[in-house]
Amino acid sequence: MKTNYFLCIFILRISCVLFFFCSCEDAELALTNSAKVSIQAEWKDYSFHFSANVKSSGNLKTEERGFVKVIPAHNEDMESCPEQTETLIIPLTGDFSYQTEKDNLMSGLECWVYAYVKTNYGNFRSEITVLKTPNQSQPQITSVRHVPSPEGPSLGGGTVYIDGTGFSNIKRRIAVSIKTVGDLWNPPQSIFLDIQEASFTRIVATYPSHEWNLVGDFPLTVFVGNYENKAVDTFKVEGVLLKSISPCVLRYGEKAMVQMSGFSPNSDFQLAAYESGDYKIVSTTEQGVELQVFPDYYDPTNDRECQLFYYDKNTNMYSTRLSFHVPASKWLERNAFKMLSPNAKQYNCFYQGKGYFYDTDNFFDSNNNKLKVYDLETFSWEYYPLMDNDHNYGINEYADLFAHEGYIYLSIKRRRNKEGTNTVLSWQCLYRFNVNTHRWEQLKNIADNAEDCMNIDAVWFDGQQLYVHSDKPFLWEYNPTTDSWQKTNIHFPADFMYTGEHNGYIYYQTEDKHIYRFKKEQPEKVEYFGTLELPVSKEAAVCGDYIYYRYEKGVFRIPLSQSVGGMLEVESLGAVDAFYYCHGTFFSHNGDINYLLATRPSAMGWGDCHLYEYSN
């Protein structure tokens, strides 16, 4: 019994001691009159600055650790500015001051600020000080100076000196960014500079090598304290700038003048675009360059934006982009079909709304030769086998179709080995097909011996006689009435390429970019028409009042109404995917509506044919 009594007394005393200590914890020091903590708080340079006075007496001992709390006074501010707590050193005696590490509080925020001090009896809190952070004035930039390294911005980086007011002398409270220029594929981005020095009036920042390779003016932003307090100015990198391009809408093969500043014609540079294709510099001046564009791709429905840039090969620096537009293609695909051994110019012609194609099941075997007729209105085919005779066999070397007064004329050059020998025999066959009766008629051949057999390259009529030019430099006359041929003394150049007829003139071209003409009644009197800058493809043809021709992927036309002589005026009609094909035939249908048949041989002799219409 006595043992239990003493045990109860011991437990009771322990409980009283614990209750005493718990009642002291978090008590106001002013109530115990044993210790006093007073605190003053100031908002300066985007941060709280604290000062405090700590006094203690009696058995109350102040420890060295303490902390300060900053709490938004209003609940609606808690989400944007959560509670800020800092641990700090409070000395045993005297004042202390501390600059908080927290610097993301908003301007114009009302806060409760108080301090805790640790003692041997627990934590004691000061009275609450109410502080309102003032609305901070925005920093101001008065000048920005860029000093690149001797190796240049791209290779060695550089230093940026920023002068102004309202900055901070604490580097970690300063951020400087420069916004890059985006392009068609990448949006603009910002790079942040490395802060080397910071004061209230000057910032010194650097950027490393390979971080910047653009010439021009770019937005520079200085952030102080938080992202609400900022100033914006211009970061300038010296170099060649693209100022303007005229015209700014360019088709395949067209030229434009690119105006530049800081440019020297003697510079080692490249002018290119963020678009596949060829971009040729035609001429240079102190003000810029004349550029000829050959873009690879055309949108069939919408204009396409291209961005041009200047690249300095010595400094590895690029200019900002300059945009121009490539208009949508006016060549509209009307139909596509497959046929055997497609070839342009030599194996087809167009007459009265129909396309006539010379075709065979096997180009190296003339059996089953036939004429294929394609109706451009109904998009349907008709087939007419070639008449059978002793000449209708052998290997086809060359064929040409042309139309005149209700007939389709077909000239074929064939060859075969003489039976039992290695001798090669060549001969010429001439036929005509009546488009109304669908009957064939064999005409007298141009030549009956191998020496005079030729590849027909051009055919025209003067109203009475048919004129034929070949791979040999003389002209032949054919009289349809007597079905007879006669070789003339009229000579044309070996690179003669027949183009077409317009207003009584026959136009032809040569491989040296010249175009000539003569009246069809006087082929011996040739007149120089003009010279082209770009060479003419063999598929050139007179359609309406123009000569249409192809250069690589582009289509051009030459107005026949222009003055004779000198450089010819040429209009670009753009380019379409069809010009990846090997051949193209131009022809007119329904007046001024012009068409292009693009063909491409493929495996096993078959090929693709695509019919395009030009839409003004």
Q: Does 595 share its domain with 469?
A: no
Domain assignment present for residue 435? The answer is yes
Give the pairing of strands 269-273 and 370-375. Answer: unpaired
The amino acid sitting at 500 is: G
pLDDT of residue 373: 86
- What's the pLDDT tens digit per position in 399-412? 778 888 888 888 77
Q: Helix, strand, coil: what percent of the chain each, to 5?
A: 10, 55, 40
Give the pairing of strands 122-125 and 94-99. Answer: unpaired
Residue 14 token pair: 């322990």
Domain assignment present for residue 28? The answer is yes
Range of the domain at 102: 2-132
Q: Which residues contact 253 (CB under 8 A, 6 or more apart)?
A: 292, 293, 294, 534, 551, 554, 556, 570, 572
What pTM did the predictor assign? 0.67
* Rounded distance between C-alpha atoms, residue 66 and residue 117, angstroms: 5
* Rounded distance between C-alpha atoms, residue 171 and residue 267, angstroms: 41
Q: Does 392 share its domain with 448?
A: yes
Residue 150's Cβ-count burial label (10 Å; 0-12, 13-18, 19+) is: exposed
Closest CA to 453 of 431, 468, 466: 468
For residue 19, give the H/E element and its range.
helix 2-24
Q: Does 314 share its domain with 357?
A: no
The CATH code of the domain that includes 191 is 2.60.40.10
pLDDT of residue 607: 63
For residue 157, give the H/E element and its range.
none
Residue with structure tokens 């910047």? 212
Q: Does 273 share its domain with 355?
A: no
- What's the pLDDT tens digit per position in 243-265? 999 999 998 889 999 999 988 88
Residue with structure tokens 């046929």? 339
Domain assignment present for residue 155? The answer is yes
Q: Given phi > 0 = left and psi -120 to 50 = alpha, else beta, which region is 332?
A: beta
For residue 399, give the H/E element and its range.
strand 395-404
Edge-first strand order for the sheet with 370-375 is 348-351, 354-359, 370-375, 380-385
How many CA atoms lie within 13 Å of 125's alpha carbon, on the beta-carbon side?
11
β-pair partners for 41: 50
Instruction: Cite the beta strand spans of 255-365 per DSSP E.
Output: 255-261, 269-273, 277-284, 288-295, 304-312, 317-319, 322-326, 331-340, 348-351, 354-359
Q: Does 570 share its domain with 588?
A: yes
* Rounded distance between C-alpha atoms, residue 236 and residue 370, angstroms: 72
Kindly list the distances between the CA atom of residue 385 and the CA atoms of 189, 304, 366, 407, 454, in Å, as whole numbers in the listed order: 68, 47, 11, 16, 24
Q: Which of 132, 155, 186 is the last residue of a domain?
A: 132
* Rounded distance between C-alpha atoms, residue 286 and residue 290, angstroms: 11
Residue 419 token pair: 């039976």
Name the DSSP class of 12: H
Domain assignment present for residue 332? The answer is no
Name the DSSP class of 28: B
Q: Does 233 share its domain with 247?
A: no
Give the pairing of strands 317-319 and 214-224. Answer: parallel
pLDDT of residue 456: 62
The CATH code of the domain that includes 475 is 2.120.10.80
Domain assignment present for residue 333? The answer is no
Q: Is residue 294 within 8 Å of residue 256, measured between CB atoms?
A: no
Q: Which of 237, 270, 286 is the last residue of a domain?
A: 237
* Rounded distance between C-alpha atoms, residue 100 and residue 378, angstroms: 86
Q: Does 577 share its domain with 474?
A: no
Q: Does 86 share its domain with 18?
A: yes
Domain assignment present for residue 459? The answer is yes
Name the DSSP class of 582: S
Q: Which residues of the chain have pLDDT under 50?
A: 1-33, 77-78, 92, 94-95, 98, 101-103, 342-346, 363-364, 366, 450, 603-605
Number of domains in the chain: 5
Q: Is residue 225 within 8 Å of residue 46, measured between CB atoms?
A: yes
Domain assignment present for residue 341? The answer is no
Q: Does 156 share its domain with 77?
A: no
Q: Does 110 share its domain with 78?
A: yes
Closest CA to 43 of 89, 86, 105: 105
Q: Which of 219, 237, 255 is the last residue of a domain?
A: 237
Domain assignment present for residue 76? The answer is yes
Q: Does 368 share its domain with 448?
A: yes
Residue with structure tokens 């971080």? 211
Helix (H), strand (E), coil (C) string for 245-274? EECCECCCCCEEEEEEECCCCCCCEEEEEC
Q: Does 292 share its domain with 394?
A: no
